[in-house]
């Protein structure tokens, strides 16, 4: 089977969130099942320099009604694998400081950029002579690809994975001509929804098979509370909306993979190094270096989805349990200022590092006793899975993938769950964690159990393969 896997982010080449982690690791697991899978992404400025890749198509003419864009295609491989990664190079659209735009707004020409990218992926498939049997598109920036395929009588089947329904790629209908879509053509009704162009809706409507990244979220998005207005469209696809839990690559994450220069490896059998990582983190954050006080952290994009505004309301009582709290993240300026102000007002207990910093993220996971993730909604969530690999016990809101990966139920609890996202329930769930922390034997057993949880890609890759087969048969 030949599969073209298309994503706007692929770790470690260009990453904004978990989508990149998935696109960088799932294809490797699928390749191990014997599939000829190749990955396509735009050549963002963050990607390796041209000299580090091979130029496989110096001239790729990407046609759309009324014009042609002169692009090119570079090739490299996903790290530690033979999986080819094609980078579509078109500098006017993708040689920019950020992947999507600033925290305040996406680049205004996003519709053109991603209409182009969908067409480029289809063109490249032919130009390279790959001839995929199936295309696997991910999230709204790739949403027009299933739509274009559905309009083509010779189009290949498509799988579309929803990583986050909160970002749909919605634009006024008036941008259609700029995207080279003739308002009178049959393309427009396929890509329009609720009076807008909607990339996500276009994909949900047109893909042969749709899935999302946990079973719970696959159910939730068919309800008005979680559907972001697309619940009816999703429900209309009923049996073709599947849930497959993400995994992580344990060669990339875990106590053997610590930031450069830090030497405190540890394991579920020998946790001594974790205490050293905690002391190092406390020191770097300017918090009192104290092994007796539990250190709770969050590593997150600072956006509404992640519920950190609710956590902020709970924080004064959480740190009086007592506990220390530190956040690593960036995004929404109001949230950034809020956490900086709280850290300034209570430097003995609260620290805030406002940045995107992969090394620091690893130190946060390794040094933390408790990992708090109070998301309003969470399609899967990789951070809590990564935290578990490092032995940080999760405290989560029981929604979406958080509910599917963390349980407080006896006899094998793996964390603490607030059923409703209200400050009081977050305080109580953290208090239960802190109570457990004060009982060293109980805590050690919990940390060890958390570290032994396996969310590896193997199982999920098998499920994706079954989904691919289903799409091929359906077509």
Coil, helix or strand for 85? strand
Backbone dihedral region for residue 211 (phi beyond 0: left; psi -120 to 50: alpha; all else: beta): beta
Q: Which of 391, 131, 401, 370 is nearest to 244 (CA)?
A: 401
Residues 6+ apart with CB under 8 A from 108: none
CA–CA gap between residue 280 and residue 62 (Å, rounded): 51
140: tokens are: 């709204």
Residue pointed to by tokens 């958390």: 450
Residue 361's binding partner among ligand GLC, ligand ADP, none (Cβ under 5 to 8 angstroms by kind) is: ligand ADP
Compute φ and ψ for 377, nearest 5 degrees: -140, 155
Burial code of 116-139, b = ≥16 C-beta within 10 A, e = fewer? bbbbbbbbbbebbebebbbbbbbb
Report the residue number, 107 or 356, with the smaller CB distance to ligand ADP: 356
Q: Does 405 bind ligand GLC (CB under 6 A)?
A: no
Binding residues for ligand GLC restricted to 216-255, rule: CB under 6 A: 246
Stretch that binds ligand GLC, among 107-115, 249-257, 375-383, 447-455 (CB under 6 A): 375-383
Q: Does 376 bind ligand ADP (CB under 6 A)?
A: no
CA–CA gap between residue 134 and residue 3 (Å, rounded): 5
CA–CA gap between residue 24 and residue 7 (Å, rounded): 10
Pick the binder of ligand GLC from 378, 404, 408, 425 (CB under 6 A): 378
248: tokens are: 């992580």
- Are 354 and 336 in contact, with CB atoms under 8 Å apart? yes
Q: Does 333 bind ligand ADP (CB under 6 A)?
A: no
Pick the binder of ligand GLC from 132, 382, 436, 461 (CB under 6 A): 382
CA–CA gap between residue 186 and residue 87 (Å, rounded): 30
Residue pointed to by tokens 């007592």: 322
Report the residue number, 18 or 141, with the smaller CB distance to ligand GLC: 18
Residue 357's binding partner among ligand GLC, ligand ADP, none (Cβ under 5 to 8 angstroms by kind) is: ligand ADP
Residue 401's binding partner among ligand GLC, ligand ADP, none (Cβ under 5 to 8 angstroms by kind) is: ligand GLC
75: tokens are: 């090739």
CA–CA gap between residue 306 and residue 376 (Å, rounded): 6
Residue pointed to by tokens 């042969």: 208
Binding residues for ligand GLC restricted to 6-45, rule: CB under 6 A: 17-19, 22
Task: For residue 386, give the H/E element and its range.
Answer: helix 383-389
Compute φ and ψ for 312, nearest 5 degrees: -60, -35
Residue 213's binding partner among ligand ADP, ligand GLC, none (Cβ under 5 to 8 angstroms by kind) is: ligand GLC
Report the residue number, 26 or 386, with the smaller CB distance to ligand ADP: 386
Number of residues that bind ligand ADP (CB under 6 A): 18
Pick the binder of ligand ADP from 357, 428, 431, 462 (CB under 6 A): 357
CA–CA gap between residue 167 and residue 156 (Å, rounded): 26
Q: Which residue sits closest to ligand GLC, CB atoms considered?
A: 18
Report the residue number, 230 or 380, with the smaller CB distance to ligand GLC: 380
Report the residue number, 382 or 403, with the smaller CB distance to ligand ADP: 382
Stretch that binds ligand ADP, among 50-58, 382-390, 442-450, 451-459 (CB under 6 A): 382-390
Q: What angle do CA 18, 16, 119 make, to 5 degrees?
A: 95
Binding residues for ligand GLC restricted to 197-216, rule: CB under 6 A: 213
Helix ranges restricted to H, 268-381: 272-285, 308-319, 333-345, 358-367
The minimum distance between CB 71 and ligand ADP, in angstroms, equals 28
Binding residues for ligand GLC restricted to 156-175, rule: CB under 6 A: 163-164
Pick the binder of ligand GLC from 287, 319, 380, 387 (CB under 6 A): 380
The minimum distance between CB 213 and ligand ADP, in angstroms, equals 8
Task: For residue 88, give the H/E element and its range.
Answer: strand 84-89
Pick the binder of ligand GLC from 143, 307, 379, 394 (CB under 6 A): 379
Report the residue number, 60 or 382, with the smaller CB distance to ligand ADP: 382
The minimum distance between CB 254 and ligand ADP, in angstroms, equals 13
| Rounded alpha-carbon distances, angstroms, from residue 230 to 44, 202, 212, 225 | 30, 11, 14, 11
Q: Which residue sits closest to ligand ADP, CB atoms considered?
A: 18
Residue 87's binding partner among ligand GLC, ligand ADP, none (Cβ under 5 to 8 angstroms by kind) is: none
Number of residues that bind ligand GLC (CB under 6 A): 14
Binding residues for ligand ADP restricted to 9-38, rule: CB under 6 A: 17-19, 21
Q: Which of 191, 193, 246 is nearest to 217 (CA)?
A: 246
Residue 356's binding partner among ligand GLC, ligand ADP, none (Cβ under 5 to 8 angstroms by kind) is: ligand ADP
Number of residues written out for the chain: 475
The minimum distance between CB 214 and ligand GLC, in angstroms, equals 8
* Backbone CA torsion sign across 66, 70, 74, 78: negative
Stretch that binds ligand ADP, among 75-83, 223-231, 337-345, 381-389 (CB under 6 A): 381-389
CA–CA gap between residue 11 and residue 419 (Å, rounded): 32
Residue 301's binding partner among ligand ADP, ligand GLC, none (Cβ under 5 to 8 angstroms by kind) is: ligand ADP
The residue ranges that bind ligand ADP (CB under 6 A) are: 17-19, 21, 299-301, 328-330, 356-358, 361, 381-383, 386
The residue ranges that bind ligand GLC (CB under 6 A) are: 17-19, 22, 163-164, 213, 246, 378-382, 401
């Amino acid at each position: 089977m030949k599969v073209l896997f298309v994503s706007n982010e692929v770790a470690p080449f260009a990453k904004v969130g978990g989508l990149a982690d998935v696109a960088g690791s799932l294809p490797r697991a699928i390749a191990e099942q014997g599939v000829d899978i190749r990955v396509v992404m735009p050549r963002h400025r963050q990607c390796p320099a041209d000299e580090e890749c091979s130029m496989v198509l110096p001239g790729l003419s990407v046609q759309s009604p009324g014009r042609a864009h002169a692009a090119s295609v570079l090739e490299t491989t996903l790290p530690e694998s033979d999986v080819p990664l094609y980078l579509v190079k078109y500098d006017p659209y993708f040689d920019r400081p950020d992947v999507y735009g600033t925290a305040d707004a996406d680049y205004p020409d996003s519709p053109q950029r991603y209409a182009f990218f969908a067409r480029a992926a289809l063109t490249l498939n032919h130009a390279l002579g790959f001839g995929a049997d199936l295309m696997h598109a991910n999230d709204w920036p790739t949403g027009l690809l299933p739509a274009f395929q559905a309009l083509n009588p010779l189009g290949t089947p498509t799988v579309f994975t929803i990583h986050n329904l909160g970002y749909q790629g919605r634009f006024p209908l008036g941008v259609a001509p700029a995207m080279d879509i003739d308002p009178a053509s049959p393309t427009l009704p396929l890509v329009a929804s609720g009076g807008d162009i909607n990339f996500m809706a276009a994909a949900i409507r047109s893909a042969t098979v749709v899935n999302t990244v946990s079973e719970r979220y696959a159910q939730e998005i068919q309800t008005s509370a979680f559907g972001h207005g697309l619940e009816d469209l999703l429900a209309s696809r009923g049996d073709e909306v599947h849930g497959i839990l993400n995994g992580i690559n344990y060669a990339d994450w875990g106590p053997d993979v610590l930031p450069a220069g830090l030497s405190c490896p540890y394991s579920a059998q020998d946790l001594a190094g974790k205490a050293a990582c905690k002391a190092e983190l406390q020191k770097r954050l300017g918090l009192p270096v104290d092994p007796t006080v539990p250190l709770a952290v969050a590593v997150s994009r600072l956006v509404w989805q992640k519920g950190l505004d609710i956590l902020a309301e709970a924080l004064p009582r959480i740190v009086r349990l007592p506990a220390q709290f530190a956040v690593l993240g960036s995004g929404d300026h109001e949230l950034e200022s809020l956490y900086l102000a709280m850290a300034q007002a209570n430097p003995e207990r609260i620290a805030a590092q406002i940045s995107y910093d992969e090394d620091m993220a690893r130190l946060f996971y390794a040094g933390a006793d408790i990992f708090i993730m109070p998301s309003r909604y969470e399609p899967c969530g990789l951070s809590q899975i990564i935290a578990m690999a490092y032995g940080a016990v999760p405290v989560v809101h029981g929604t979406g993938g958080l509910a599917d990966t963390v349980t407080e139920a006896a006899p094998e609890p793996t964390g603490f769950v607030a059923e409703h996202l209200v400050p009081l329930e977050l305080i109580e769930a953290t208090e239960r964690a802190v109570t457990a922390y004060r009982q060293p034997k109980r805590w050690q057993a919990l940390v060890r159990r958390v570290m032994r949880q396996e969310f590896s890609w193997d199982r999920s890759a098998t499920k994706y393969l079954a989904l691919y087969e289903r799409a091929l048969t359906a077509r």
